[in-house]
Amino acid sequence: MPKAWMNPPTFNAWKFVSLSPLPPWALVLLALGLVLGVALAAWGVRREPSRGRRVLLWALRVGAGVAAFFFLLEPGIRHLQVARMKNRVAVLVDRSASMSFPTEPGGPTRTAQVASFLEKAAPRLAALQDRFTVELYGFDPELAPVTAASLAKEPARAGTTDLLSAVRSAAGAGQGSRKLSGVLLFSDGADNTELKAGVVGRARAALADLNVPVSTFTVGQEALKDLAVEGLKVDDFAFVRNSLTVEVEIHGRGFSGREIPVVLSQEGKTVASKTVRLESSDDVKPVAFTFTPDQTGRFVYTVTVPTFPDEAVADNNSRSFTLKVIRDRVRVLLVVGRPSWDERYLRGLLKQDANVDLVSFYILRTLSDDPGVVSDRELSLIPFPMEEIFDTKLDTFDVVIFQNFGHADPSLSIAEYERNLERYIHNGGAFVMIGGDSVLGEGRATMPTLMEALPVAAAGPANPELFTPRLTPEGLRHPVTSIGTGAASTEAAWAELPPIPGANLTTARPGATVLMDHPHLTANGKNAPLVAVWDYGRGRSLVMATDASWYWAFAAHKDGSPSRAYDRFWGNALRWLVRDPDLTTLKVTADPPSVEPGRPVGVVVQARMADYQPALDAQVRVELFSVTAQKPVAVQTGTTGADGVVRLEFAPPEPGPYKLLASAKKGETDLGSGEDAVAVRAVGPELSDASVRPELMEQIAKATGGKAYRLPQDGLPDVPLLDPPVVEVGRAKDQPLWDRWYYLVALIGLLGAEWFARRRFGYV
């Protein structure tokens, strides 16, 4: 703590004071009376022809008036004991991470250079202690006392540089009312907050308002060799199967004329790459990547440029971000083998769903049909655009539905596009095959390649008999067939539905989940699946092995009670197919999705039971999986609260993209698994830019009336400092001046002399 410099306990200052007991208004009245007396005297001699006499009489009256006032005021001398408080001088040292960069390639760090300078300047700083309290702070941007030794020892780590905030804090810091006489600011000038754009506008006004000269000491050299990914611009979320653009700036210093490859990758998989050419030794080139995410979820993307061996900073050569890919409306392609009641009710449902964007193609006429027209102009038919929908536009659909669609005629056969469809599903698409007499073992189009992606295989001729489908144990819990609010309600809802006519005979493939089956139609000793689902590659597919699900829409109403079973079933199916996040029993959310370096990774897990009620006391296990290393790096476990939610935290991991893989159990019941992505950033805004900004430091000095210097310096130069104006009062002693006899003699003498002169000049 700085100490006030104190005088010895003697009076060391004085001042004139009035010791009169009269109140101020009485003194004012008396003073007015005296002025009046002087004025009357002057008035009385205004006709005096002799200028000498006139002046003498005026002077004598004025003298007498002053003497009389002197007595009224009772002047005295107040002896004072004063203690001068010394003003402060703040020495501010930037503690942001960029101060750990070398001053020059192979040189000491910027902080080390400041520490060495402060040691050299120590004698001059000590000399300043006579007039000022010199306070040495590091700022990050909070002020904290430092010493030259502690600077050299502790590396600078702060994630931001905020010079204005530091200077403001210094002006407000210190003890009591001690004012700041000056600031010595040591920094590389790499401000990334208020002064990022320079000393302009409000920042300039804020600096000027401080009324303190800030002298700046720029540390570090400008000409570093460095390549950095900067200025990332991307939305927080994107729509699946819609293109989006990521913009970055590649900032290169010392790479004039070099071609730099820039790569955008999604969790290790290259999404796009470009090459930029840096034209000058300090050049910033924008790069824009446009790509189309093909799956919903949260993913970590990374923009990378190569790291060259002699670069100042390697950590700023890549930049990661997370992107949440959501869907807009579910875009459904409905391809119908021929108009039928099954098609009519599915169309009615999909068209009235505001969340569905339906594109449909029906085969209204085959080669064997004869519409009986002379010209095709009499028909409203359009060609079946197979190439467009199964090739060029296929990836734009969230779900493709084949409804009894299987034609062997060359003009309508999709044999050529089966592989496209199989790949579409494998790569994250969703597919539904609805049965009938042209597919799943019926008709002549077997579609073997497409069938690979389906959870069932054809197993024989269809059975046209009425039957009541059975809900399997899996179907009771599965989101597709859970059409009630709980298991009992789901079972009751299905039981109410009328029997349906006709089912294709299929068998479930290994790995398929059968949700409903036929009660007596069997293949290989197992009941034939009616509704089966599975995950195929990154996609999903569903088979409905009948063309009579429309009975649930229409025939279900025959006894008068309304039924929503059909709408719920197909609504659920679409949501499951497109991986609606609300349909997962375990919801995993990285909190936050992007983590600054050195910060912990948080994750919120929400567990629900199969009936979608919150799972209390569920055991949650979350694995932090490094996408770069392709292995888990940490595991955390926890137990959910009453709301089924638990928040877990991982110690700060190495920078890079990570997956949070969660699973949960309640007792012996498996509550499923879920995942999210999190980007642990290699560098914050602070380390992404190794540049030194001497011009900013000069602007600060100029705006505040300080001076700008550059390190290294041999010693502390003469920096501008305000003089300390503050005086504090201690003890006082009054010494009257008016009570001397000669003052009374002078008054009487003056009055007497005036009377004598007036008599002499004939005025009395």
Partner 1 sequence: MSARRLTRRNLLLGSAALVPLLSRRADAFGEKSRFIPAVARHGGRWDSRLSGLRRIAWELQRRTSVEVVPDARPFALSSPELFEYPFLYFGGEGGFPALTEAEVANLRRYLTYGGFLLADANDGSDGDGFDSAFRREMARVLPQNPLAPVPSSHVVFKSFFMLDSAPGRLLNKPQLMGAMLGKRAAVLYSQNDLAGAWSRSESGDFEFDVSPGGEPQRELAVRLGINICMYALCLDYKDDAVHLQLILNKRR
Where do contacts with partner 1 occur on this chain (CB under 8 A)? 337-345, 347-348, 351-352, 358-366, 369-373, 377-382, 385, 436-437, 442, 461-462, 464-465, 501-502, 547-548, 550-551, 553-555, 557-560, 562
Closest CA to 182 of 229, 134, 138, 218: 134
Q: Are 287 and 327 in contact (CB under 8 A)?
A: no
3-class DSSP state of 197: coil
Position 619, amino acid: Q
Q: Which is nearer to partner 1, 505 or 622 (CB)?
A: 505
Rg from Cα positions in the chain? 45
Q: Which is nearer to partner 1, 179 or 347 (CB)?
A: 347
Tell me how long the chain is. 764
What is the spatial distance between Cα 603 and Cα 372, in angstroms, rounded to a whole number? 67
Vertex 186 angle, CA 184 and 187, to 5°: 145
Q: Which is nearer to partner 1, 436 or 475 (CB)?
A: 436
- Give the shortest CB-532-to-partner 1 separation in angstroms: 19
Q: Is 16 exposed, middle or buried (0-12, 13-18, 19+ CB in 10 A)?
A: exposed
Q: Are 451 and 543 in contact (CB under 8 A)?
A: no
What is the spatial distance between Cα 76 and Cα 544, in angstroms, rounded to a whole number? 112
- Give the shortest CB-342-to-partner 1 separation in angstroms: 6
- Give the shortest CB-558-to-partner 1 separation in angstroms: 4
Q: What's 585's DSSP letter?
A: S
DSSP string, 113-175: HHHHHHHHTHHHHHHHTTTEEEEEEEESSSEEE--HHHHHHSPP-BS---HHHHHHHHHH-SS
Q: Which is nearer to partner 1, 370 or 723 (CB)?
A: 370
What is the spatial distance between Cα 216 and Cα 75, in angstroms, rounded to a whole number? 51
Tokens 């195929």 correspond to 536
- Give the shortest CB-365-to-partner 1 separation in angstroms: 6
Tell whether the torsion through CA atoms of 139, 140, 143 and 145 is positive or negative.
Answer: negative
Q: Which is nearer to partner 1, 339 or 717 (CB)?
A: 339
Most distant CA pair in the chain: distance in Å? 156
Pairing of strands 180-187, 87-94: parallel
- Give the shortest CB-560-to-partner 1 separation in angstroms: 7
- Give the shortest CB-255-to-partner 1 separation in angstroms: 51
- Give the shortest CB-467-to-partner 1 separation in angstroms: 11
Q: Is 274 exposed, middle or buried (0-12, 13-18, 19+ CB in 10 A)?
A: middle
Q: Which is nearer to partner 1, 379 or 748 (CB)?
A: 379
What is the spatial distance between Cα 133 and Cα 180, in angstroms, rounded to a whole number? 9
Q: Which is nearer to partner 1, 14 or 554 (CB)?
A: 554
Q: Which is nearer to partner 1, 233 or 329 (CB)?
A: 329
- Give the shortest CB-374-to-partner 1 separation in angstroms: 11
What is the spatial distance between Cα 270 and Cα 255, in angstroms, rounded to a whole number? 25
- Give the shortest CB-340-to-partner 1 separation in angstroms: 6
What is the spatial distance between Cα 136 and Cα 3, in angstroms, rounded to a whole number? 15
- Give the shortest CB-366-to-partner 1 separation in angstroms: 5
- Give the shortest CB-460-to-partner 1 separation in angstroms: 11
- Give the shortest CB-549-to-partner 1 separation in angstroms: 10
Q: What are phi and psi of 690, to 5 degrees?
A: -95, 10
* Number of Cβ atoms within 10 Å of the Cβ of 741: 7
Q: Which is nearer to partner 1, 262 or 553 (CB)?
A: 553
Q: Which is nearer to partner 1, 217 or 551 (CB)?
A: 551
- Give exposure, 585-597, as e/b (b: 16+ Cβ within 10 Å): bbbbbbbebbbeb
Q: Which is nearer to partner 1, 70 or 554 (CB)?
A: 554
Q: Which is nearer to partner 1, 188 or 442 (CB)?
A: 442
Cis peptide bond N-terminal to 592, omega within 30? yes
